[in-house]
Structure 1
Amino acid sequence: MLIKECKGYELEKEKSNTSEDFFNRSEVTFVENGQEKTLHVLYVRYFDELFQEFTPYNQDPVINLGNHDVYFKDLVALVCLLKNPGLRSRKRLYINAKNEFASYFQDINFNKLPEVFQCIQQNKGFELISPLEFILQSH
């Protein structure tokens, strides 16, 4: 699987009676078996304020690659896909429970994430051999 792009953004209200401004969307675009797919993860924006609870990151942007900053919302969909490879067949994931959201970040090897964004930044994409490379194995 080739990871081509990871990005996140805050939703803005399209109409005054909607609640889009309470949510963020994170997307990961990848190619598998010659087919390009995108997983859209919609989650409660409040979780962005809590990421220190379930990641080793202390501030946003969480990764600095010199001329490119990676924000927490840019990596949410990637982490979800790594943690649950079954999401490859889905287009959308909606998370509104803090414990469910936090569970995706449990046992993730955060030291390997900059490598993914570095490869994407260089327009090569990241060749994912196995999602297990990103999961910390307990001994």
Structure 2
Amino acid sequence: MLIKECKGFELEKEQSNTSEDFFNRSIVTFSEDGEEKTLHVLYVRYFDEFLHEFTPYKQDPIMVQDNNEVSFKDIVALVCLLKNPGLRSRKRLYINSKQEFASYFQDINYNKLPEIFLSLNQKKEYELRSPLEFIMQPK
């Protein structure tokens, strides 16, 4: 699988009677078997306030590489895809439970995430051989 892009953003109200401004969208675009796909993860923005509870990150942006900031929103869809490779066949995922959201971040090897973003910044792609490389294995 070739990862092409990881980014996230805050949704804004398009109409006064909608609740879009309570949500964030994170996307990961990847190519598999010659087909380009994008997974959109929509989640409650409030969960960003708890990133320190289920990740080692203490603030946002979570990392800075070559003057490029990577925010928490940028990694959410990627982490979901790494944790559940079955999501490759989905276009959208909606998470409104803090418990479900936190479960995606359990056992992720956060030390390896920067190499994905470094490759995306330099080569505009990252070859993911196995999602298991990013999951901590029990000792």
TM-score normalised over the length of structure 1: 0.99
Deviation sequence 1:28-76 (CA, Å, 0-9, x none): 0000000000000000000011100000001100011021000000000
Partner of 2:82: 82
Deviation at 1:89, TM superposition (A): 0.1
What per-residue deviation string (whole Å, max 9, x for no partner) do you get for residues 78-106 of structure 1?
A: 00000000000000000000000000000
CA distance in 1, matches of 2:36, 2:66: 29
Output the amino acid matched with 1:7. K
1:25 aligns to 2:53 (yes or no)? no
Compute the TM-score of the two structures, normalised by the length of structure 2. Answer: 0.99
Counterpart position of 1:37: 37
Which residue pairs with 1:137 in the alignment? 137
Q: For structure 2, list consecutive stretches of 5 or more residues without a partner in the other structure.
A: none
What is the CA RMSD across the aligned residues, in angstroms? 0.6
| Counterparts of 1:66 and 1:31, CA distance in 2 | 25
Stretches of structure 1 that go unaligned for 5 or more consecutive residues are none
1:124: how far off?
A: 3.6
Q: Between Structure 1 and Structure 2, how many residues are aligned?
A: 139
One-letter amino acid of the counterpart of residue 100, structure 1: E
Q: Whole-Å Cα distance in 1 between the matches of residues 100 and 75 of structure 2?
A: 16
